[in-house]
C-alpha cells in the first residue's frame, strides 16, 4: 500500500531509479518504487523511468499488464513524467524494435546517424551535457522544462521537434530533436533530470508542485 501523497515510480527493471528516488527526496517529497498494476493504475503522480532497449521495456510492460495500468493512470488524470526510455515508450514506435509503444504520442523514435550531413563523424550515443531550448513561451507555460543544460545518454530520439506536443528542442550534430514532449497530464523528457544538478532539481520541484 502507498500513501496518496507519494510519487509512484514504475518498476520494470529499466530505470536509474536510485538517483530518481534521491532527487525526489532532495526536493522535499516522497516516492515509492512499485511494479504493482493496482498501485500504478491508481497513482496520482507517476514517474516512468527508463534506460535500455525499447523492445525489452515494452515487452516487460505488456507481459506484466503494466501497459494497461499506465493507461489507466493516464485516463484517470494522473500526472505522469517519462524519463529517457520512458519518454520513448510513450510514443508510437521505434527503429529499435518491431514492437509498438504505448502510443500516447503519435511520433516515431529514430536512431542518430553515425555521420552528419556534411560527412563528419557523430558519436553515438549522444552522451553528456547539452542545451535545452524551450520551443515557445506559450507551450512552456505548463512545462516542467525550462531553458538550461541537462545530462543526456541516448542513441535514439523522438522525431517531433516541430510538432505541437514538442515542449523543448536540443541539437546534436545537425539533428534537432524533441528533448521534451507533453500533452495534458503527461510529459516526457529525453534527458536525465536526476543527473542534471540544479536544472534537474528545478524540474522535479515543478513536477512535484503540479
- The residues annotated as belonging to the active site are 84, 192, 194
Q: How, if at all, do strands 31-34 and 79-83 pair?
A: unpaired
Amino acid at each position: 500500500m502507498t500513501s496518496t501523497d507519494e510519487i509512484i515510480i514504475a518498476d520494470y527493471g529499466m530505470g536509474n531509479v536510485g538517483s530518481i528516488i534521491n532527487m525526489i527526496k532532495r526536493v522535499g517529497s516522497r516516492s515509492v518504487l512499485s511494479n504493482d498494476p493496482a498501485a500504478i493504475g491508481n497513482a496520482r503522480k507517476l514517474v516512468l523511468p527508463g534506460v535500455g532497449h525499447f523492445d525489452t521495456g515494452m515487452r516487460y510492460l505488456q507481459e506484466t499488464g503494466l501497459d494497461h495500468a499506465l493507461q489507466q493512470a493516464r485516463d484517470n488524470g494522473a500526472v505522469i513524467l517519462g524519463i529517457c526510455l520512458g519518454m520513448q515508450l510513450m510514443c508510437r514506435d521505434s527503429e529499435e524494435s518491431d514492437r509498438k509503444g504505448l502510443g500516447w504520442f503519435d511520433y516515431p523514435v529514430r536512431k542518430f546517424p553515425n555521420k552528419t550531413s556534411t560527412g563528419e563523424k557523430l558519436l553515438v550515443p549522444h552522451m553528456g551535457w547539452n542545451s535545452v531550448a524551450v520551443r515557445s513561451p506559450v507551450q512552456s507555460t505548463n512545462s516542467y522544462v525550462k531553458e538550461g543544460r541537462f545530462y543526456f545518454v541516448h542513441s535514439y530520439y523522438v522525431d517531433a521537434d516541430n510538432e505541437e506536443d514538442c515542449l523543448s528542442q536540443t541539437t546534436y550534430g545537425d539533428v534537432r530533436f524533441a528533448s521534451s514532449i507533453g500533452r495534458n497530464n503527461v510529459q516526457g523528457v529525453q534527458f536525465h533530470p536526476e543527473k542534471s544538478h540544479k536544472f534537474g532539481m528545478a524540474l522535479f520541484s515543478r513536477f512535484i508542485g503540479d
